[in-house]
């Protein structure tokens, strides 16, 4: 049976002064969303990781079991962090957002997005699917804990691979936060004075 492709429902979040671009794979089905923004599923720990790393509080961006979308957008803008997904269209082979059941129908036009982010010099992938999808546009694939140098549209880029923020990824939240902290520090969006 052929599954129809699904176009990404969100535009890239692209503060023009962003220095770091974070790329996931694709959002979950709409019924799992708690906000109209990236990582909207309350079972995904991305915004808890951000809370731990930047504020020492996993619930900093959580209110009444939902995420505080306006606070997240304001924070990312202040820090110069852009967010998008590596796929612009996918086919869901199992009706969920699991990377192993997503077939990329159309990858992100990374060069076009980077043209909107003139100060961006680093990309962090939040999963293998995202990295694998854009590998042909970058020429290098980082491993967790081992950044790589790549390029796109003539721009040199530092590439990072982060552990998935999905709870299905078998790593404790504190360990995920430590990996993100290291990348955010190296990419200069986190200062050494931030809470440990």
Minimum mean pLDDT range among 5-14, 92-101, 141-150? 92-101
Indicate the domain borders of the chain. Answer: 6-186
Q: Is the pTM of this model over 0.75?
A: yes
Residues 94 and 96: their CA atoms lie apart, in Å, by 6
Residue-level pLDDT at 159: 96
Alpha-carbon radius of gyration of the chain: 16
6-186 fold: Uracil-DNA Glycosylase, subunit E (3.40.470)
Asked whether 113 and 84 are in contact (CB, 8 A), the reply is: yes
- What digits encode the pLDDT tens for the residues 130-152? 888 888 889 888 888 899 999 99
- What digits encode the pLDDT tens for the residues 107-124? 899 999 999 999 999 999
Please tell me whether residue 21 adopts helix, strand or coil conformation: strand
């Amino acid at each position: 049976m052929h599954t129809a492709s699904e176009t990404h429902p969100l535009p890239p979040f692209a503060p023009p002064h962003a220095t770091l671009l974070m790329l996931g794979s694709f959002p979950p089905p709409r019924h799992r969303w708690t906000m109209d923004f990236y990582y909207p599923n309350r079972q995904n720990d991305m915004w808890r990781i951000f809370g731990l790393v930047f504020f020492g509080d996993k619930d900093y961006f959580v209110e009444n079991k939902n995420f505080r979308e306006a606070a997240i957008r304001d924070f990312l803008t202040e820090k110069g962090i852009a967010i998008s997904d590596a796929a612009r269209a996918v086919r869901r082979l199992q009706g969920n957002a699991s990377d192993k059941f997503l077939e990329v129908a159309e990858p992100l036009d990374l060069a076009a997005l980077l043209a909107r982010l003139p100060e961006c010099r680093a990309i962090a992938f939040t999963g293998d699917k995202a990295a694998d999808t854009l590998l042909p546009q970058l020429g290098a694939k980082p491993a967790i804990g081992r950044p790589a140098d790549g390029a796109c549209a003539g721009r040199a880029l530092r590439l990072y691979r982060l552990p998935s923020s999905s709870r299905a990824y078998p790593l404790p939240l504190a360990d995920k936060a430590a990996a993100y902290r290291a990348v955010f520090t190296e990419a200069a969006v986190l200062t050494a004075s931030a809470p440990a």
